[in-house]
């Protein structure tokens, strides 16, 4: 069953259109990579999926009991966020906020979950370290742990490897793949790295202010959209 369905969606800001004619479904267990040039509307789509902006036309619907609060989100980092003065544990634990309800304090279960996700990301024993002291790759692992604390069903990742060196990037992609394959969490990832998209994803969505391609990754390389991306030099 589809978790999210986009039906004839148009998205934009203040009456200005960014994306038009978007039609696709995200099924449980998918690994969807959203590709396209800078400014093509990829981050705008993510905001639409998270209900941060409403469609100007069409609909974005969720089914199979999925709620927005159950989607883990790893946004692009800003300079201010990179220098956030909190411990790893505090950052990861904040991912459980959506499950707190009216309780004013974190429960023991939420604290155990945060530690479990820290360990899963290979950061065991570092939970008291200050987030701003970490390397870029470690920070992304912390944010990924935070996103996993918010969900057991779907994570949305907006350029998670931006600015990381090749070795750290490769390790991060392998980790995300394990989350999809072993934890059975649906992954939606915005990426400029077409090679990684082709290696790991089950489906590709190619945007350029409209939908150029949506379908299985195996079929993408023979499509006109893939040729356009190759000719424009987007990797």
From CA 95, how far away is CA 103, in angstroms rounded?
15
Out of 8-22, 47-61, 66-80, which region has the weakest mean confidence (pLDDT)? 66-80
Confidence at residue 85, expressed as pLDDT on a 0 to 100 scale: 80
Confidence at residue 234, expressed as pLDDT on a 0 to 100 scale: 45
146 C-beta neighbours (distance < 10 Å), count: 25
From CA 55, how far away is CA 16, in angstroms rounded?
12
Confidence at residue 77, expressed as pLDDT on a 0 to 100 scale: 74
What distances in angstroms separate CA 227 from CA 19, 30, 32, 53, 216, one per listed residue? 21, 24, 19, 31, 16
Confidence label for 224 from pLDDT (cuts 50, 70 and 90): confident
Confidence at residue 191, expressed as pLDDT on a 0 to 100 scale: 92
Work out the percent of the chain whose per-residue pLDDT is above 70: 91
Indicate if the pLDDT at residue 177 is higher than 80. yes
Indicate if the pLDDT at residue 91 is higher than 70. yes
Indicate if the pLDDT at residue 118 is higher than 80. yes
Confidence label for 212 from pLDDT (cuts 50, 70 and 90): very high
Out of 2-6, 87-91, 140-144, 228-232, which region has the weakest mean confidence (pLDDT)? 228-232
Region 174-189: what's the mean pLDDT? 96
Indicate if the pLDDT at residue 195 is higher than 70. yes
Confidence at residue 227, expressed as pLDDT on a 0 to 100 scale: 74
Region 36-59: what's the mean pLDDT? 94
From CA 208, how far away is CA 192, in angstroms rounded?
13
Indicate if the pLDDT at residue 100 is higher than 70. no
pLDDT higher for 234 or 189? 189
Domains and CATH numbers, the chain: 1-66+153-235 (3.40.50.300), 79-152 (no CATH)
From CA 169, how far away is CA 221, in angstroms rounded?
23
Burial zone of 135 (CB within 10 Å; 0-12 exposed, 13-18 middle, 19+ buried)? exposed
Q: What is the spatial order of strands in the sheet that 57-62 belongs to?
A: 16-27, 2-13, 57-62
Confidence label for 46 from pLDDT (cuts 50, 70 and 90): very high
């Amino acid at each position: 069953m589809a978790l999210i369905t986009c039906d004839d969606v148009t998205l934009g800001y203040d009456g200005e259109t960014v994306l038009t004619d978007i039609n696709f479904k995200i099924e449980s267990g998918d690994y969807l990579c959203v590709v396209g040039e800078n400014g093509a509307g990829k981050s705008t789509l993510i905001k639409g999926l998270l209900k941060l902006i409403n469609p100007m036309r069409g609909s974005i619907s969720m089914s199979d009991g999925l709620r927005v609060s159950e989607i883990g989100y790893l946004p692009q980092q800003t300079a201010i966020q990179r220098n956030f003065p909190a411990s790893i544990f505090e950052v990861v634990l904040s991912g459980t906020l959506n499950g707190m309800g009216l309780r004013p304090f974190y429960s023991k279960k939420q604290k155990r979950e945060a530690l479990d996700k820290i360990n899963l990301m290979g950061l065991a024993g570092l939970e008291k370290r200050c987030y701003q002291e970490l390397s870029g790759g470690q920070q992304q692992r912390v944010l990924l742990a935070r996103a996993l604390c918010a969900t057991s069903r779907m994570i949305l990742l907006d350029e998670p490897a931006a600015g990381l060196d090749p070795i750290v990037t490769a390790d991060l992609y392998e980790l995300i793949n394990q989350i999809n394959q072993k934890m059975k969490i649906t992954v939606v990832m915005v990426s400029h790295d077409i090679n990684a998209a082709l290696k790991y994803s089950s489906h590709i969505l190619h945007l350029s202010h409209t939908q150029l391609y949506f379908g299985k990754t195996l079929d993408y390389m023979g499509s006109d959209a893939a040729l356009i991306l190759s000719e424009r030099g987007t990797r």
